[in-house]
Structure 1
Amino acid sequence: MQLNLQYSIIQHITKTTGLQTIWLYDGISLPSAKPFVTVEQMPNNTTILSKQRETIQTTYRFQVGLYANSASERAKLQDRLKSAIMFDRITIYDAENTPTNEVGYFYAQITGETPISPEDISDKTKYHRIYFDIEVDATLHKGE
């Protein structure tokens, strides 16, 4: 499920905003050309909903980063990106087997928006960025 959700979020952001969207993982280099978006997995929470562990609910968390060229561009793109995540029904793809195969849809929730200043002022890639914390809840039944 984790793989399918992250892949689907990346595809949705790319299609709806037209922004280059990068799957963030250990060792990846960020592009110097902005604007672009990153999507990174964050810690998930799982709750057991039945005594026999037949039903569980997992809250999948992701951090979506927006890197812009200026504060005004960031503000404009921030609104566009926020709308795409909060209001759109996001198609879920089977990224594990056939990435073009649509297997359903989900909605995501933004739980936080945090603008971040660069740690190193010489690193211009990290100027004008903001991060969205998003969550997707999924209930799974034994055998799915």
Structure 2
Amino acid sequence: MANLYDIQASLKTFLEQQTGYTCVWIYDGVKLPTTKPFLTIEDLQTQHETLDKMREVAESTYRFQVGVYASSSAQKAKLPEEIKRALTFNQIPLLDTSQSGFPAVGFFVADVERITPIPNDDITSQTNNHRVYLDVTVEVTLYK
């Protein structure tokens, strides 16, 4: 059964394989790379909904923010589109992080909801130049 940790690890691995760039898992205290381009992935809220009165089917919607830290304005325009296409038109292998070697145990799909460019509000921080975020959702249906 898919869970938040496995889905996030799967998205991180998939993005690294598709783009060839490092993808950093965002957590409290993480240090971002100084060499661009790189990607980030952060889990946001998860929504859970019961779909029938007998409580036999439920759905979880996992939301993620994929950050693109580009090295130029041109790359800032191109890389999010590349990521959107990869997420939209591919099944993503679901990795089981509880097993050695993280084997793929299935597949899932992801949807890109929006792409938002973020201006750098601190000109002393070169890391925040040429930044874009993609809002990504993964829906998982649960059966009793």
TM-score, normalising length: structure 1: 0.93
Q: Which residue in 1 is equivalent to 2:35?
A: 33
Does the aligned pair in 1 maintain the 2:80–2:115 contact within 8 Å?
A: no
Question: Number of matched residues?
Answer: 142
Q: Which residue in 2 is equivalent to 1:78?
A: 80
- Runs of 4+ deviating beyond 4 Å: none
SS at match of 1:32: coil
Q: Which residue in 2 is equivalent to 1:15?
A: 17
RMSD: 1.2
Does the aligned pair in 1 maintain the 2:94–2:105 contact within 8 Å?
A: yes
Does the aligned pair in 1 maintain the 2:23–2:40 contact within 8 Å?
A: yes
Q: CA deviation at 1:68?
A: 0.6
2:95 aligned residue (89, 93, 96): 93
- Residue identity matched to 1:15: Q
Does the aligned pair in 1 maintain the 2:37–2:71 contact within 8 Å?
A: yes
- Structure 1 CA distance for aligned equivalents of residues 95 and 39 of structure 2: 20
TM-score, normalising length: structure 2: 0.93
Gap regions ≥5 residues in structure 1 = none
Identical-pair percentage: 39
Gap regions ≥5 residues in structure 2 = none
- Residue identity matched to 2:20: G
Does the aligned pair in 2 maintain the 1:93–1:99 contact within 8 Å?
A: no
Cα-to-partner distance string for 1:66-104 (whole Å, 9 max, x where unaligned): 001111111121221111111111000001333521110
Does the aligned pair in 2 maintain the 1:59–1:137 contact within 8 Å?
A: yes
Q: Which residue in 2 is equivalent to 1:124?
A: 126
- Residue identity matched to 1:20: T
